[in-house]
Structure formats: C-alpha cells, structure tokens
Structure 1
C-alpha cells in the first residue's frame, strides 16, 4: 500500500530538504506536487484540500522558519498532518461487556467480510487470549455459511449453526445464548453483503443491530475502491452506529486513498487492515506507523512485533544454542529460516516496513518475488537428511536429483546453495552470542543495509 504516494512524496520532500530556507514560493511548488500525489492516490478532494492547507500553515510557522534544517522540519509537519488525518492513534476494540462481547460485521458484497470474521477471531484468540465463537447471519448465501464453518474448524473457533428458516436477528440471538452457556468471551456475527441504497436489506441489519446490541459494529470495506470506500462507510454510518472500519486487500492497493480518506470523511477509526489472504494476515492500524511508511521511514515497530508473534521462539533458541556449541548452520536450519520468513508474509511484506526502502529503485523492488521463497523451500525439501546436515556432499548427480525431485532447474539448486553459503558465513559471526546478541547483530546489519 502507498507505493506510488511514497515515491512521489519522497522525491518532492527530498528536493525541499536541499533548500537553504523555505519560502512561500518553494513551499507552493512542493504543495502543488503533494496535492497531485494525493489526488493520484485517490484521496478524497476535501481531505486533500484540508491537508494541504494545514501543511502550508505549519510550513510557514515560526518553528519551521527558524529551524536549522527547514526541509527536515517540513517533513515533521507533513508526518504530523498525515497522522492527524488518519486518527492520531490505534483505537482498540472495546470488549468491556458482560461476556460474550458481541461484534457485528457489516459491508458490501465481495469486500471479504467472511474471511475477515475468521481473521479477527484468530487475532482475538492468539493476541488477546479470548475464546471466540462465530456465526453467519447471511441467510441468502449457503456458500458463505459453509465457508465460515470451514475457516472456524481450521482455526479452532466455535462455530454456531445457521438455521436459514429464521431471521438474521433470531440466528444471532440463538448463537449468543449458546455462547453464554459455553462461557465464551466474544461472538462475531457475520452478515450478508448489502448496498446502502437497498432499503429492505438495510432495514434487516438495523433490526439485527437493535436485537443484539453489539459492543462493536465494524464496517468491512475493500481498500482498492479508494475514496469510494470512505463514501460507502459514511452512508452505512448514517444507517448504523459504526464503531470502526476494517480495510481489506491493502496488499493489492498501491494507492492508499481509502486509508487516508476514511477517518476524515466518516469520523470513524480504521481499527484493522487486511494485508493478505491467509488467516493471520490482519494487523491493527497504527496511524503514526503508517505515516512513517508513507514517508519512506519504515515501520520497525511493526516488523519487530511480527517477528515476536510469528517467529517460532523455540526453534530460534534451539538454533542459537546450536551455534553457541560451535555446531555449524546447515541446510535444515536454512530451510526453517525460509519457512519462518514465509510465515511472516514473505520478503515483500517485510521490505515495506524497512526504513529507506523507497530509495531503492522501483525496478529492483518489483523484482522481489515471494514465489521464489516457495521455490527455495521446495529445493531444500527435495534433499535427504544427510545432504541437509552435510551440504558439501551436494555435487554433480545429487544436484541433478534434487532439481528433478522439486521440478526445477540445476541453476535453481546452485542459487539456493550460494544463498545458503552467504547465510552460513553470517551465522558464524554469532557463534559466541545468545539469541539476544543474534537479534542485536541482525538489527545493526539492517540499519546499514542497502539493497
């Protein structure tokens, strides 16, 4: 998300950074570029106008004018206004209610509501340690009910059956009663996709809301619809008392107009963003971190949180102890590292959070292909245990057999072995340290990293 905006803003602000002082003229030129960048990102016009006006006022203020590096000071103003437009801070779910706390999910068809119900259930289960039940009040699409049941089974969420002969309100109330008997903490109610102009469907969801009185009413919307996402959310909010928004499919949205428009237009916070198709691809929305990413400053906090949540600590400790004992880093260890990286969303997801990534040429960034991770893992899985432990054995015929076993070319096997050698050299540097020292070393490497 924000790829195009980051590139445009980065170039504009870089030019200002070189200016000895800020004048009305060079600020005017810069703001014209920023305005164009925001409009191209499909940010709503009222948001763009308000943003430009506030940045201008801040740029011509005494603090910036008196600064020794006015270009840098202006970037701080831009960052502060981006944060302000998106909502200052992450607003957590309000689950302070007599259990079960009820969350109602609303939105248009095709926005990804059912998948988001499962993602949110998993997030509450793993991050907040809540027991979660889910129910589908979509009596129009049997496939949506089956989809939710399958996802719930995969994630060990409690699934409540849907009796399609009953109304949406009756189905939800029945699920809540069952959840009370099971002592569940949260019940998430999925609903049918509907248009705000469909009076009959809007009446149904109003009745459902009145019957179950949810603590959270979340609007699920596709970020790729840009500023239309904000306008649709506003229309729904006029019918339902929304408490927040979940933006889906942000991994496929290079513009980011929805994220920058929703809070300003609706007054409702973005609480979560969907960053991929897998059920663990849901992240809380932090305006300050997003603003840093837009300006190419990265988001190390989110990256560190990803590592803490998704990296298998037992495996990491085991590897650290193995290296401490002087044992060498082998291909089995390398395969585990690749699998853990894949579990974190792949190289692309990690790159987005690295500082200065926008300074890497776009052509090079576009060459990063997470499918390559899967290919590398397949090559390692095609090896025998002995070959993984003793990589020097892999020569000639063994390479051919490995390539044939995973359906790849000989050069693919050679490439994996070359990358392994590089990783092995790096791991030798941490032999005398524990896991904490390894992480410190990796962080210092990342600070000086250039692609």
Structure 2
C-alpha cells in the first residue's frame, strides 16, 4: 500500500546524504520533495503541509552531532513526525465490561463482515468466548457470509434471517450472548454505497439500544479522500472509538488512510491485509512509520511467527534437525505454518531493507504451490527417505505434480542444502560448532 510513498520519501531524503551540514537551502529542497511525496500519496493537503512545516522547523533547530550526518538526522525527524501523524502510541480495543459489545460500522464494500470474522478469531485466540451478530439485513447473502466466516474461525453466529428490524436483532443477540456466557459480542451492521440519513439513523438507533463498549469504523484504504470525509460523517453521528484500515495489501496510494487519524482525532486500532482470517494486525504507529521509511518491521514479523508456529511442534522439529531426521513431511508442515503468517510480499517488506527490493516483484500467494504438489505426489516412504528416489520414481512424481524432473531435482538439491544449513545452525546454538582444520583448507 505505502510502497510508492516509501520510495519517494526515501528518494527525497537522499539529497541530504553526503552533505556536511543542514542549511536553509538543502532542507527546504528536501522538505518540498517530502511534501510532494505525501500529496502524491493522497495525504490531505493541510495534513501534508502541517507535517512538513514541523519537519523543517525541527531540522533547522537541530545541532548536528559529528557522528551523525544530516541525512540520518532527517530520517529520525521524519520518523518521529510520521509516528505523531498516525497516533504516537498503540491503542488497544476496549473489552470492558463483560460481556464487551463491539459495534462494527462503515460503508458497503469496506470489508466490515470480513473484518468481523477476523476480529472474532483474533479475540478467540486470546481465550475469549466470542459471538458474531448478523445485523446487516439489506445486503444479499450478508448473513450467509457471516455464518461461513463464523464456521471457519469456530465462533457462534446469531442471526434472524426473517427479521428485518436491526434494532430487535441486536437486542435479542445481547440477551442470547449473556445467556450463553459470551465474553465478547461483535455486531456486524449494514453498509450503504454512500452515506445517507436512513443508514445513519439506523446505526445510531442500534448503538443506543445495545450501548457498545467499542465502536470501530472500518474504512477501505483504497477509497482515497472520500474515506476521510466518510470517517468524519460517521464520527459526528456515532463518536466511534477507533478506525480499522482494510485492504492494505492493495496498490492504491494509501495516503488518505494516514490522514484519517489527524482529521477525526481517533486512533487507528487495526490494519487488515488480504482475505485470510489471520491477516489482521494491531496497529503500531512507530512500526508503520519504520516500514514507510524502508526500515522494516521486525517486531511485527516476530509476533506473526509466534502466532503461527506451535511451540511444541517447533521443539519437535528442532530435535529432528539435530538428529539429522528432518524430512519432507516436516518441511511440508513448516510451509503450512509460514502460509499462516500472511501475504509473502507483506512479510518480506517487514525485513529491514527489503521493502524497496520487493516493491516491483510479483510474489504470488501460491508461491509454494509447485513445491507442495511435488511433496504431495511422493509416497510416505519417499518423503521420509528422499535418497531412494531413482529416475523411475522421479518421473512418476513429476507427472503427478505437473512439474518436471528438473524442478524436482532442484527441490531435492535445495532441500539437502537446507538440511545441512539447519544442522549447522543447531550446532552453533548447542555450542558444538568446531573450527575447520586449517591445514586441510590450505591443501585445497
């Protein structure tokens, strides 16, 4: 989403690299390019001007340390201002009292229903008993969609398909949720193609009837400046508690999303990428600022890995690696864990220095498809002992997986190299790494 903005800001700040000191001229030139980058990314003009004026004032007031060049100092200043723009600190969702009631609002097509399912899974993972409520009585198949998502994440869904009164449905759902001991009740409401009085009256009435502990406004990050105007209209009527940015994996400019926090003075609480139910992250302004400046987001990457990888399974795999017993069965299981972490390109962008390297590279979600097909075409014995693969077996596997013998041989070679590397890394961790025999190396 923010690849173009990241690229342009990085390019703008390169003009200060190699300069001996900060001057009126080089700061003014750099800040002008940063403002242009923000506006090109669809950041509200007033917001772009305000942030760049602060950057300029801050830069001119800095005493540059001998060990820090002007370019590095400006990166620090821009990072701090981007963090302020997006809210300074992380804001958690309010889940008190018990049961907590979360009302989901937004326009049609913004991703409310999908987000409701993602939030249900997110909260379920933290040990909460969640109920989803279908209060979208207008959109065809909205109730069915929520039921499918509820089944997918293992959460109950309350619905009254024949009832066309959203307020009654919401009130009945509250009574049902309390009776069933639900700790969090998530209410998915109807959206419209545009803001209209009937929609605002209905959702305001639902709010008054159920008195939610949290109201989240879901906005499509690809909408542009209309998203800012819509957010303001909803906030005037509902006084919502936080914003959810969806479709951050899209290719829109994304700057409008950065403007929302400043315009409505409400925190961004979640960001959503993709359709998968686990593609939801709590929003951290400092981490997003780092990603925009191409500095990566290692903390979010680690958190995703911790959520995706089972600790006992990881220990079992480590034990097998140490004993040189890592098989294609284990490799396949690890691939499934990696896929749970989300979009591959998004993950690569979290690695410092990688965001610009992969911005023009197409990394499909099914990048592991051919590898999975090859492994699935093997017999259990072949997965356990790939060394038994002769040409006859290889041809059978290649035919069964829709690949070639060459692709299979490449995978076998890479797998063998990976096992050796894993074994070496485990030896280092165990303190068993031995220095090579220098005499033998000299002879080669």
TM range (shorter): over 0.9
> With structure 1 as the length reference, what TM-score do the two structures score?
0.91
Task: Quote how far apart the aligned CAs of 1:64 are.
Answer: 4.3
Task: Quote how far apart the aligned CAs of 1:56 are.
Answer: 0.5
| 3-state SS in 2 of match to 1:383 | coil
Deviations 1:14-48 (A, max 9, x none): 33232111111111111121122111211111111
**Which of 253, 275, 281 matches 2:251?**
253
Taking the aligned partners of 1:181 and 1:327, their CA distance within structure 2 comes to 54
Asked if the contact 2:107–2:195 (Cα under 8 Å) also holds between the matched residues in 1, the reply is no
Asked if the contact 2:195–2:230 (Cα under 8 Å) also holds between the matched residues in 1, the reply is no
Aligned to 1:185: 183
Asked if the contact 2:117–2:149 (Cα under 8 Å) also holds between the matched residues in 1, the reply is yes
| 3-state SS in 1 of match to 2:371 | helix
Task: Quote how far apart the aligned CAs of 1:370 are.
Answer: 3.4
Task: Quote how far apart the aligned CAs of 1:196 are.
Answer: 5.8
Q: How many residue pairs are counted as aligned between the two chains? A: 432
| 3-state SS in 2 of match to 1:207 | helix
Taking the aligned partners of 2:390 and 2:10, their CA distance within structure 1 comes to 47
Aligned to 2:437: none
- Where do 1:135-150 residues align within 5 Å? 135-150=133-148
Task: Quote how far apart the aligned CAs of 1:166 are.
Answer: 4.4
| 3-state SS in 1 of match to 2:345 | helix
Counterpart check, 1:224 vs 2:222: yes
| 3-state SS in 2 of match to 1:103 | strand
| 3-state SS in 1 of match to 2:141 | helix
Asked if the contact 1:103–1:217 (Cα under 8 Å) also holds between the matched residues in 2, the reply is yes
Asked if the contact 2:15–2:26 (Cα under 8 Å) also holds between the matched residues in 1, the reply is no
Deviations 1:323-382 (A, max 9, x none): 23x22432222222222211112431220100011453755xx04333221221121111
Change (3 A) 1:152 1:75: same
Asked if the contact 1:67–1:73 (Cα under 8 Å) also holds between the matched residues in 2, the reply is no
**Which of 160, 166, 171 matches 1:173?**
171
Taking the aligned partners of 1:437 and 1:352, their CA distance within structure 2 comes to 32
| 3-state SS in 2 of match to 1:139 | coil
Question: Mean Cα displacement is larger for which, 337-346 or 61-70?
Answer: 61-70
The Cα RMSD (Å) is 2.0
Taking the aligned partners of 2:414 and 2:342, their CA distance within structure 1 comes to 20
Counterpart check, 1:391 vs 2:386: yes
**Which of 262, 265, 269 matches 1:264?**
262
Aligned to 1:50: 50
> With structure 2 as the length reference, what TM-score do the two structures score?
0.92
Deviations 1:89-129 (A, max 9, x none): 111011121x2111111111111111111100110110x31
Deviations 1:160-206 (A, max 9, x none): 12254341111001000111111111101111112564111211111
Aligned to 2:372: 377
Asked if the contact 1:227–1:262 (Cα under 8 Å) also holds between the matched residues in 2, the reply is no
Asked if the contact 1:323–1:432 (Cα under 8 Å) also holds between the matched residues in 2, the reply is no
Taking the aligned partners of 2:384 and 2:393, their CA distance within structure 1 comes to 14
Taking the aligned partners of 1:369 and 1:109, their CA distance within structure 2 comes to 27
- Where do 1:45-444 residues align within 5 Å? 45-64=45-64, 68-97=68-97, 99-126=98-125, 128-194=126-192, 197-253=195-251, 255-324=253-322, 326-360=323-357, 362-363=359-360, 366-432=361-427
Taking the aligned partners of 1:43 and 1:282, their CA distance within structure 2 comes to 24
Change (3 A) 1:369 1:151: closer
| 3-state SS in 2 of match to 1:292 | helix
Task: Quote how far apart the aligned CAs of 1:386 are.
Answer: 1.6
Aligned to 2:21: 21
Asked if the contact 2:309–2:337 (Cα under 8 Å) also holds between the matched residues in 1, the reply is yes
| 3-state SS in 1 of match to 2:14 | helix
**Segments of 4+ moved more than 6 angstroms:** none
Question: Mean Cα displacement is larger for which, 58-67 or 103-112?
Answer: 58-67
Taking the aligned partners of 1:94 and 1:206, their CA distance within structure 2 comes to 19
Change (3 A) 1:423 1:39: same
Asked if the contact 1:59–1:65 (Cα under 8 Å) also holds between the matched residues in 2, the reply is no
| 3-state SS in 1 of match to 2:104 | strand
Asked if the contact 1:245–1:269 (Cα under 8 Å) also holds between the matched residues in 2, the reply is yes
